[in-house]
Amino acid sequence: AQKITQTQPGMFVQEKEAVTLDCTYDTSDQSYGLFWYKQPSSGEMIFLIYQGSYDEQNATEGRYSLNFQKARKSANLVISASQLGDSAMYFCAMSVGHSGSARQLTFGSGTQLTVLP
Partner 1 sequence: DTAVSQTPKYLVTQMGNDKSIKCEQNLGHDTMYWYKQDSKKFLKIMFSYNNKELIINETVPNRFSPKSPDKAHLNLHINSLELGDSAVYFCASSRQGGRETQYFGPGTRLLVL
Tell me which residues touch partner 1 (CB under 8 A): 33, 35, 37, 39, 43-47, 50, 52, 89, 91, 93, 95, 99-107, 109-110
CB of 84 to partner 1, least distance (A): 21
CB of 92 to partner 1, least distance (A): 11
DSSP characters over the chain = --EEE---SEEEEETTS-EEE--EEE-S-SSEEEEEEEE-TT---EEEEEEETT--SPPEETTEEEEEETTTTEEEEEE-S--GGG-EEEEEEEEE--TTS---EEE---EEEEEE-
Nearer to partner 1, 57 or 101 (CB): 101
